[in-house]
Amino acid sequence: MKQKNLLIGIVLIALYGLVYYATEVAEIIDPFQQVNLYLMGINIIAAVSLNLIVGFTGQLALGHAGFMAVGAYVSAILTLKLGQPFILAVFAGAVAACLVGIIIGLPTLRLKGDYLAIATLGFGEIIRGLLVNIDYVGGAAGMNGIPKLTNWTWLYVFTLFTIFMIKNFINSTHGRACIAIRDNEIAAETMGINTTQYKVMAFSMGAFFAGVAGALYAHYFFLIQPTTFSFMRSFDALVMVVFGGLGSLTGSIIAAMAVTGLNAALIDFGALRMIIYAVLLIIIMVFRPQGLLGTKEFTLKTLFREKEGGCERVKNQPLN
Amino acid sequence: METLIAQLLNGLSLGSIYALIALGYTMVYGIIQLINFAHGEILMIGAYAGFFAVTALNFNFFAALILAMVVSALCGILIERIAYKPLRNSTRLAALITAIGVSLFLQNGGLFVFGTDFRSFPQAIPKVTYRFLEGAITITSHQLIILVVTIIMMLLLQYIVQYTKTGKAMRAVSYDKDAALLMGINADSVISVTFAIGSSLAAVAGVLLGLYYQTIHPLMGLMPGLKAFVAAVLGGIGIIPGAMTGGFLLGIIEALVSGYWSTNYRDPVVFGILILILIVKPSGLLGKDTREKV
């Protein structure tokens, strides 16, 4: 076990060094690829945090972009208007998103399935609608000239931090409780799990990391507008989660990279890009509705030894 | 007082359009429990069909309306067969994502085929303003047309659902699909009919929206689609009178907010009301509470 952790540590540091060398020192990666690399990191954070809510706790949420918006705006206010350091701004943005998550989660998480999806969609739209009306943050024109503080080091650290925290959460007692709620809420409640508490916990934790993703986004693209965080961004994150497999962290990571890469690859098609994207999405859903990995995790072990016993989620179980 | 009446009339015409769209949402949801996110885009297709019928084929307004309904109904059936039918037995989430995918496809397909410009919708019916009570109440011919067409469509739908064999089959399938299958009802064709009816109502809404705002655009279905969906939830999703109530209510609220406060706060207020209703009464205004059994 210790050896394995050491190996993973070495691989992660090597990956960091390699990309650092390629972008900052040798400059092999051109600006377009670099944008996509950063987007990949931000999307991984968004997808993994949404997977905690949708995939592991079974609460269908469509307002993730709203939390990203809160993180982005709060952090941008701190760096741009109040001159605070970047790291403080990111955490303030994340905490703000987390608080909004608790405020939204407490009343709405009593709703189930589609109703929760609609309520969270509504909240995402409300956050966006309010941002348009606040002159302090630029209204519809948004905030411009945010210092470009997101560099490869910060991005890498925050991405790893997110994955690490969520992975540990899922493997903890609390995470198990969340998975129990996903699989059968009534049974979980009967077993003495405080379902409301755990749902709010997972929801606010997802919101926290969505805030981190938003803050990183704001400080890389230096321009944020209310439309940046529209329903389509929530939907993008959901696509990554479902495509990778509900309840598979590695699935979300792979899917976030694949979808970002796909978007970049289709850029040459111009107007046809979104049409091809939509068709691919429909085809994937029709032929593999459970996603790339289902609830399995991708590890080197499963790669070499296929038949490993384990409990898999019952197929075709509706998400309620 | 005059602005109040004017806003109420505006709200009534906008609300009736929302109600028409919401009916399609609610019928599809009632029968296969799917939020058909592509419904707003079917509306857009209907609006463009109406546009081309009037401009290219020189149809009059009502012939264009019927052509738009037929085109949209076919589109609805086609979408159901290609995208939703293979997912009948998979998770609700997969179906939801597919629906959003279809919506994306139609939006961008529309942008690709029709271009990104706004087109001015032909004024197939001249806009006349009628005044009553020394100008205290003014109503335009367009508002009248919208109201009359909507009421006719609603009565027609009520007739189909309540008094025809198809309607009976639809109600049976939405009540219990498996039992309906055992009774010899062809659920697939019932679902197709539901999509056809819902889509043709959306087409009517699209043409009326074109008449109301006088412009059409490939992304025109997005916001009305979302709003109508809110209306359907407001009234209780899956319930036909609920969709009508929700639609009218939403239209009036929206007009009052824009008239007395600011158009900028229109959308936040609409979604705020949605969330309030969901928290107080999750099944909607006319919905019945169902408790989940173990």
Spacing of C-alpha B38 from chain mean position: 11
The pLDDT-based confidence of A310 (bands split at 50, 70, 90) is very low
Q: Hey, are the CB atoms on A129 and B90 less than 8 Å from each other?
A: no
Chain B residues touching residue A117 (CB < 8 angstroms): 35, 96
What whole-number distance in Å separates Cα of residue B255 and Cα of residue B263?
9
For an interface test with B, give the residue of A60, A275, A277, A290 to mutate (most B CBs within 10 A). Answer: A275
What whole-number distance in Å separates Cα of residue A55 and Cα of residue A61?
10
Chain A residues touching residue B111 (CB < 8 angstroms): 271
B258-261 own/partner pairs: CB under 8 Å, 24+ apart: B258/B7, B259/B3, B259/B6, B259/B7, B259/B10, B260/B7
Q: How many CB pairs lie under 8 A apart between chains A and B?
A: 127
pLDDT at A211 over 80: yes
Residue B70 confidence (pLDDT): 95
- Within 13 A of B71's CA, how many CA atoms are on the CB side? 23
B115 reaches A (C-beta below 8 A): no
Give the helix/strand (H/E) hosting B15.
helix B2-32
Q: Which of residues 26-85 of B touch A (CB under 8 A)?
A: 33, 35, 83
What whole-number distance in Å separates Cα of residue B122 and Cα of residue B59?
11
Q: Hey, are the CB atoms on B112 and A275 less than 8 Å from each other?
A: yes
Closest CA of chain A from B138, distance in Å: 32
Instruction: Give the contacts of B51 (CB within 8 A, at least 6 positions apart).
Output: B119, B121, B122, B210, B216
Q: Rounded to 5 degrees, what angle do the CA atoms A112, A114, A120 make?
A: 85
> Could you identify the residue written with the tokens 């009632």?
B30
B87 reaches A (C-beta below 8 A): yes
What whole-number distance in Å separates Cα of residue B224 and Cα of residue B69?
18
Task: Give the number of other Cβ atoms within 10 Å of residue B171's Cβ.
Answer: 16
Q: Rounded to 5 degrees, what angle do the CA atoms A130, A131, A133 make?
A: 65
* pLDDT (tens digit per residue) in A5-50: 788 888 888 888 887 777 777 777 777 888 888 899 999 999 999 9
B274 reaches A (C-beta below 8 A): yes
What whole-number distance in Å separates Cα of residue B293 and Cα of residue A186?
9
φ, ψ of residue B116 to 5 degrees: the values are -90, 0
* Contact indicator for A129, A183 with CB cutoff of 8 Å: no
Q: Hey, are the CB atoms on B102 and A282 less than 8 Å from each other?
A: yes
What's the count of helices (H) and strands (E) in chain B, helices before strands? 11, 4
* pLDDT (tens digit per residue) in B155-173: 999 899 899 999 999 999 8
Per-residue pLDDT of chain B (294 residues; tens, 9 = 90+): 667 888 888 889 889 999 999 998 888 888 888 888 899 999 999 999 999 998 888 888 889 999 999 999 999 999 999 888 888 887 777 888 888 889 989 998 999 888 888 888 887 777 778 777 766 777 888 888 899 999 999 999 989 989 999 999 999 988 888 898 898 888 889 999 999 999 999 999 999 999 888 889 988 888 888 888 888 888 888 788 888 889 999 999 988 888 887 777 888 888 888 888 888 887 777 877 665 554
Residue A288 confidence (pLDDT): 80
What whole-number distance in Å separates Cα of residue A107 and Cα of residue B280?
10
* Contact indicator for A78, A136 with CB cutoff of 8 Å: no
Chain B residues touching residue A129 (CB < 8 angstroms): 264-265, 267-268, 271
Residue A296 confidence (pLDDT): 75
Of the candidates A123, A231, A278, which has its C-beta nearest B275's C-beta? A123
Residue A303 confidence (pLDDT): 60
What whole-number distance in Å separates Cα of residue B61 and Cα of residue B169?
33
* Contact indicator for A231, A62 with CB cutoff of 8 Å: yes
Quick one: what percent of chain A has pLDDT higher than 90? 29
Q: Which of residues 175-204 of A touch B (CB under 8 A)?
A: 186
- Within 13 A of B164's CA, how many CA atoms are on the CB side? 11
Supply B172's token pair: 């049976």
Burial class (CB in 10 A: 0-12, 13-18, 19+), B231: buried
Give the bridge partners for B138, in sequence order.
Answer: B131
Q: Hey, are the CB atoms on B98 and A282 less than 8 Å from each other?
A: yes
The pLDDT-based confidence of A1 (bands split at 50, 70, 90) is low
Q: Which residue of A has its CA nearest to B231?
A: A118
Q: Hey, are the CB atoms on B97 and A108 less than 8 Å from each other?
A: no
What whole-number distance in Å separates Cα of residue A207 and Cα of residue B189?
43
Q: Secondary structure of chain B: what % helix, strand, coil (to 5)? A: 75, 5, 20
Q: Rounded to 5 degrees, what angle do the CA atoms B84, B103, B169 make?
A: 40
Chain A residues touching residue B275 (CB < 8 angstroms): 107-108, 119, 122-123, 126
Q: Rounded to 5 degrees, what angle do the CA atoms A4, A5, A6 make?
A: 90
Nearest to B23 by CA among B277, B286, B226, B239: B239
Question: pTM here?
Answer: 0.84
Q: Hey, are the CB atoms on B229 and A118 less than 8 Å from each other?
A: yes
The one-character DSSP state at B283 is T
For an interface test with A, give the residue of B26, B78, B91, B279 to mutate (most A CBs within 10 A). Answer: B91
Closest CA of chain A from B152, distance in Å: 30
A103 reaches B (C-beta below 8 A): no
What whole-number distance in Å separates Cα of residue A288 and Cα of residue B90?
10
Chain A residues touching residue B262 (CB < 8 angstroms): 133
Task: Please state the three-class secondary structure of chain A as a single string.
Answer: CHHHHHHHHHHHHHHHHHHHHHHHHCCCCCHHHHHHHHHHHHHHHHHHHHHHHHHHCCCCCCCHHHHHHHHHHHHHHHHHHCCCCHHHHHHHHHHHHHHHHHHHHHHHCCCCHHHHHHHHHHHHHHHHHHHHHCHHHCHHHCEECCCCCCCHHHHHHHHHHHHHHHHHHHCCHHHHHHHHHHHCHHHHHHCCCCHHHHHHHHHHHHHHHHHHHHHHHHHHHCEECHHHHCHHHHHHHHHHHHHHCCCCHHHHHHHHHHHHHHHHHHHHHHHHHHHHHHHHHHHHHHHCCCCCCCCCCCCHHHHHCCCCCCCCCCCCCCCC
Residue A33 confidence (pLDDT): 83
Residue B22 confidence (pLDDT): 92
Q: Hey, are the CB atoms on A272 and B271 less than 8 Å from each other?
A: no
* pLDDT (tens digit per residue) in A96-154: 999 999 998 888 888 777 788 888 888 888 888 888 888 888 878 888 888 888 888 88
What whole-number distance in Å separates Cα of residue A233 and Cα of residue A69?
10
- Distances from the Cα of B10 to the Cα of A147, B248, B251, B252, angstroms: 46, 11, 8, 7
Dihedral over Cα of A271, A277, A280, A281: its sign: negative
Residue A304 confidence (pLDDT): 61
Closest CA of chain A from B99, distance in Å: 8
- Distances from the Cα of A195 to the Cα of A173, A178, A189, B10, B278, angstroms: 13, 8, 6, 45, 19
Q: Hey, are the CB atoms on B91 and A272 less than 8 Å from each other?
A: no
For an interface test with A, give the residue of B97, B112, B266, B281 to mutate (most A CBs within 10 A). Answer: B97
Residue A300 confidence (pLDDT): 64
Q: Which of residues 206-235 of B touch A (CB under 8 A)?
A: 226, 229-230, 233
A114 reaches B (C-beta below 8 A): yes
Q: Which amino acid is at A285?
A: M
Chain A residues touching residue B109 (CB < 8 angstroms): 275
Axis-axis angle for helices A249-265, A31-51 (nearest 10): 150
Closest CA of chain A from B260, distance in Å: 16
> Could you identify the residue written with the tokens 């691919």?
A280
Dihedral over Cα of A206, A209, A213, A218: its sign: positive
* Contact indicator for B280, B242 with CB cutoff of 8 Å: no
B267 reaches A (C-beta below 8 A): yes
Residue B41 confidence (pLDDT): 92
Q: Which residue of A has its CA nearest to B277?
A: A119
A133 reaches B (C-beta below 8 A): yes
Give the helix/strand (H/E) hosting B2.
helix B2-32
